[in-house]
Amino acid sequence: MSTSVVVTGASGYIGKHVVKEFLDHGYAVRATVRSDAKEAELREAIGADGADRLSVVRLDLNSDEGWDAALEGVDALIHTASPFPLATPNDPDELIRPAVDGTLRALRAAEAAGVRRAVLTSSCVAIYNDELRDGQTILDETNWSPTRQPFTTPYDDSKTLAERAAWEHVGAAGTALSTVNPGVVLGEPLDDNFGSSLSLVEQLLGGEFPMLPDVNLPVVHVRDVAAMHRLALESDEAIGQRFPAVAGALSMVEMAEILNAEIPTSAAKVRRAPSFLIRLMARFNADMKSIAPRLGKSGAVSGANAERRLGMTFTSARDAVIESGRFLATRS
């Protein structure tokens, strides 16, 4: 059994929970961050429990420096790091290349250090842009999103191509890989530094959307995502498997209604935007362009592979929304 892991991207919203999950279950964790400030942030978020088993190193996805040393002497790589854009880049490769190259850099460093077990954080966007096959009623781990299409965003493509590159690489290198593919990740963060991960709930709470597009999203709780990384590492049955991390799908209107029912200060609007208007706006607006192809689709992706192989019982999508809303409401 693995007893020590490297967790990349450890100061991120998901990364912090992953570090805590492994520490809480007795692992030694070598966490990678980009700066001293990020180390301080991580240590404060994690707290005292397990702190004696946490070490932190500086690494950059875009540089080879330090990777070989960081992977030396550990049992497994947990690769959560990936670029996430604040705005859609004009050149998609500004996002795609760092995601693909960073994933391969981490895997190669693991192989050079003799580490032959890896768990990669991918995304449901690598699944849900696909179409249902004949006889298929819900998208699952067997589906792959097409890339570089008019209906895919640079972020979609970066996650899909990075995961594909990982599977192709380990097929030749012999590394035992599993991937965790989260939907929209919600739930209480470990500190106030959670980036843009809860921005959708924050914008809904603030009433920033006068109308909501007819879009359904696969939702998962952040603690479940963290648990899946550990369970995937601990299970031989998980090797070679993709694990969609999804508790269920919710429309944006349903999310707004949940927040209005459970959060007294919520100002979420619940009026649905006419789909023809979204499609019209997509001609001129990059955000609307990425939404338009998903109008009216179910958003459902099956989490059954994790339930079957990892024994997962997911926190409900509704509870993940409520917990996020309550956390954000206390900060306003």
The one catalytic residue among 159, 269, 289, 297: 159
Across 194-298, the runs of DSSP E, i.e. the strands, are 216-221, 242-245, 248-251
Stated as kind and residue range, the H or E segment containing 76 is strand 76-79
**The predicted structure's pLDDT at residue 124:** 96
pLDDT per position as a tens digit, 79-107: 999 876 656 667 888 889 999 999 999 99
Residue 235 above 70 pLDDT? yes
Those residues with Cβ within 8 angstroms of residue 54's Cβ, 6 or more apart along the chain or in another chain: 19, 23, 28, 29, 31, 43, 46
Retrieve residue 199's tokens. Answer: 């921005």
217: DSSP letter? E
138: DSSP letter? S
Highest mean pLDDT among 138-142, 191-195, 281-285: 138-142
Could you tell me how many helices (H) and strands (E) the chain has, helices first? 12, 10
pLDDT mean across residues, the chain: 92
Retrieve residue 227's tokens. Answer: 């648990």
**The predicted structure's pLDDT at residue 286:** 64
Q: What share of the chain is helix, strand, coil (3-state, %, to 5)?
A: 45, 15, 40
> Among this protein's residues, is 20 annotated catalytic?
no
Residue 165 above 80 pLDDT? yes
Residue 219 above 90 pLDDT? yes
Residue 316 above 80 pLDDT? yes
Residue, of 287 and 108, whose pLDDT is higher: 108
Sheet containing 216-221: order of strands: 184-186, 216-221, 248-251
In whole angstroms, what is the distance from residue 302 CA to residue 253 CA? Answer: 21
| pLDDT grade for 166, boundaries at 50, 70 and 90 | very high
In whole angstroms, what is the distance from residue 165 CA to residue 142 CA? Answer: 16
Residue 261: Cβ within 10 Å count: 12
Find the mean pLDDT for residues 155-180.
Answer: 94
pLDDT per position as a tens digit, 9-67: 999 999 999 999 999 999 999 999 999 999 999 999 999 999 999 999 999 988 999 99
pLDDT per position as a tens digit, 193-206: 988 889 999 999 99
Retrieve residue 202's tokens. Answer: 């924050």
